[in-house]
Amino acid sequence: SDQHPNTTMKTAKQPCSVYNLFFQLERECLLHEYIPTRSRDILREISKDQNIYESRDHDQRPLRYRHLTLPDNWFKSGRSKRKHRKTNLPFSFLQLNEIISKRWKFVDEETKAYLKKIASSEWKIYRAKQKKFLEQTMTKTKEVKANSTKNSKKHMDSG
């Protein structure tokens, strides 16, 4: 989460777009295809973190993605950043982007519907967090103003 500049409270991170979610799945497809130990590596990472489990939504995913081993929070916007590792793919990030953007142009409706459902759900959570944050900010602002008014009155009365 990002720190709000005027408070000690943290704002929620924006959720991924449908395209960002698609990019993540397609990247995982390529990693699973080119790195034979990818599933095992992900399971090892998951086992190190007490708060993350293997995703159990295999049957809900479009057929193309059911074989992927993913953490249960793969689409969550507030998850901690993954540790950077060299992936040893036979192409650069730029080429990866080109491959995935071409695939996006021909993505099937089942995949789009699945990703839209996830994105919509994440946006609802985000909006609720933002509303709560704004309410807390307003409350804190009112408290600060009330205290500063009291203090300035005391200062004026004592002078």
- End-to-end Cα separation, the chain, in angstroms: 45
Kindly indicate the confidence band of residue 106, based on its pLDDT and cuts at 50, 70 and 90: very high
The residue ranking higher by pLDDT, 111 or 75, is 111
pLDDT tens per residue, range 136-151: 888 877 777 777 766 6
| Structure tokens belonging to residue 114 | 């699945």
| 1 pLDDT tier (thresholds 50, 70, 90) | very low
Residues 136/9, Cβ–Cβ less than 8 Å: yes
Give the type of residue at 90.
P
pLDDT of residue 8: 55
What integer pLDDT is reported at residue 82 of this predicted model?
A: 60
Token pair 């060299």 in the structure block, residue: 86
Mean pLDDT of 13-17: 85
Q: In 3-state terms, what secondary structure has residue 87?
A: coil
Measured between alpha carbons, how far is 25 from 69 in angstroms, rounded to an integer? 10
* Rg for the chain, CA atoms, rounded: 22
Q: What is the mean pLDDT of the chain?
A: 82
Beta-carbon contacts of residue 12 (< 8 Å; ≥ 6 apart): 1, 77, 78, 126, 129, 130, 133
Q: Give me the sign of the Cα torsion angle 11, 15, 20, 26.
A: positive
pLDDT of residue 58: 75
**What's the rounded mean pLDDT across residues 60-79?**
83
* pLDDT tens by residue, 27-62: 999 999 998 888 888 888 878 776 777 887 878 899
Q: Closest Cα to residue 126, out of 82, 61, 75, 80?
A: 75
More confident residue, 46 or 95: 95
Comparing 80 with 101, the larger pLDDT belongs to 101
Give the model's pLDDT for residue 104.
Answer: 97
